[in-house]
Structure 1
Amino acid sequence: MSKIKVEKPKLSLHLPAANFQEIHDMDEPYLTNCTITNCTIERENIDKIEFSQVTFKNVLFNDVTFRNIELTDVTFENCDLSNADFMGGIKHRVEFKESKMLGINLSDATLGNVLFENCIMNLSSYGYSSLKQVQFANCSLQNADYYECNFKKVGFQQCDINEVNFSGTSLKGIDISSSTFERLSVTLEDLDGCEVSSEQAIGFARMLGLKVK
């Protein structure tokens, strides 16, 4: 079981508190060097919003669309990002911890040095995204969609990846041996070079119709 080395967000120890609504008073949607806690961000639709050196803690994102979002040195802790639309843009040195992220849209994006830890991410979408140095640790990823993704140094450590769609995504060098699943959407070609456990290998053989004795 390999663990991917992910760079941590570069954050000051003491970030001043901020109110998300302040962003509406700015010429460009941009927040930096602050912490946003214990609030609800509701019914926001902002294109090309940027967050740099920001900590979100205990924040509910309700009916939020931030397409082409840019996140640099950002953490989300105990947040609810379910069904948030973060399609496109760049996410660099970002951590999502202990968060609910059901159905979040992270497709058509570039993710570099991103950690997802102890998150519920069922039905999340990453289609056509590029993931480099990204770690999923102890996450539930049931029915997540990684269609036509580009993986480089991506780890799935003790995750539930049942019914995940990896169609069109090469899993060469990707270690899923510590994760659990009953079924995956994946081709033999995409599985070439994937690191699996012996039990998983038997499961794949059965999926192919082989009778394992």
Structure 2
Amino acid sequence: MANTFKIQQPKIPDDLTSTSFQSMDEPYYEMSIISDCSIMSEEIHRIRFEQVIFKNVTFTDVSFKSIELTDVIFDHCDLSNTDFRDGSIHRVEFKDSKILGLNLSDASLGNVLFQNCNANLISFGYSKLKQVRFDSCLLRNADYYESNFTKVAFKECDLNEANFEQTPLKGIDLSTCTFDRINVSIKDIAGCEVTEDQALGFARLLGLIIK
């Protein structure tokens, strides 16, 4: 039931222009493809990307706080430890990418897909997620502290040691996911959809002794 919503795909035209990343006075990129390159040691506030595809791009020591991403695809990219704090991220796909430690805290995400990504240690603290799907992702030690979920789906993800403290999980279906332990407030697990085995793990959080 929790997975029956649709996510709007990025609206990207076919005739994109191939371009390279370079610093500019008004940091705005549109209708372009950036591919097979590295973006290194960049710190830009409020950079904007609209109708852009990143393909085989590595981000190294990059801070794009308050980034605006609209109709964007990251395909086979490496965004490990990149800083997108306070970002506005809408109709965006992260596909087959390494986003280890990506910082999306205090961000607003709408109609976003994470598919086949290594997203261990990713941070969503204090973020708002609306119509967001995580499909076949590694999310070990992911941080969702005090996030706001509206139509969020997890399908076949590894959520071991993920942190959901202060994040209500009502209507969230974790039954296809794997984890030995997740961190969650007892008051926030009501209405979360889990398997029988997962329910036993939650029962231990209550201090119950299972016989």
| Number of the residue aligned with 2:53 | 55
Deviation at 1:188, TM superposition (A): 1.4
* 1:11-160 correspondence runs (5 A): 11-21=12-22, 24-25=23-24, 27-160=25-158
Deviation at 1:204, TM superposition (A): 1.2
Deviation at 1:210, TM superposition (A): 2.1
| Number of the residue aligned with 1:7 | 8
Note the alpha carbon deviations across 1:169-199, whole angstroms, 9 max, x for none.
0111111111010111101111011111111
Amino acid at match of 1:125: S
Q: Is the 8 A contact 2:115 2:137 kept in 1?
A: yes
Post-superposition, which runs of at least 4 consecutive aligned residues in structure 1 deviate over 6 A?
none
For residues 36 and 115 of structure 1, the distance between their equivalents in structure 2, rounded to whole angstroms, comes to: 20
Note the alpha carbon deviations across 1:134-172, whole angstroms, 9 max, x for none.
000000000010011000000010000000110110111
Deviation at 1:96, TM superposition (A): 0.1
Q: Report how many aligned residue pairs link the two structures.
A: 210
Amino acid at match of 1:110: S
TM-score for both structures, normalised by structure 2: 0.97
TM-score for both structures, normalised by structure 1: 0.96
For residues 205 and 108 of structure 1, the distance between their equivalents in structure 2, rounded to whole angstroms, comes to: 31
What stretches of structure 1 of length at least 5 have no aligned partner?
Answer: none
Deviation at 1:202, TM superposition (A): 1.4
What stretches of structure 2 of length at least 5 have no aligned partner?
Answer: none
* 1:179-198 correspondence runs (5 A): 179-198=177-196
For residues 32 and 98 of structure 1, the distance between their equivalents in structure 2, rounded to whole angstroms, comes to: 23
Note the alpha carbon deviations across 1:47-95, whole angstroms, 9 max, x for none.
0000000000000000000000000000000000000000002100000
Amino acid at match of 1:83: N
Deviation at 1:2, TM superposition (A): 4.3
Note the alpha carbon deviations across 1:107-137, whole angstroms, 9 max, x for none.
0010000000000011110000000000000
Structure 1 range deviating more: 45-54 or 181-190: 181-190
Q: Is the counterpart of residue 168 in structure 1 residue 145 in structure 2?
A: no
Amino acid at match of 2:201: G
Question: What secondary structure, in the 3-state scheme, does the structure 2 residue paired with 1:91 have?
Answer: strand
Report % sequence identity.
Answer: 58
Q: Is the 8 A contact 2:135 2:157 kept in 1?
A: yes
For residues 41 and 89 of structure 1, the distance between their equivalents in structure 2, rounded to whole angstroms, comes to: 18
Q: Is the 8 A contact 2:170 2:190 kept in 1?
A: yes
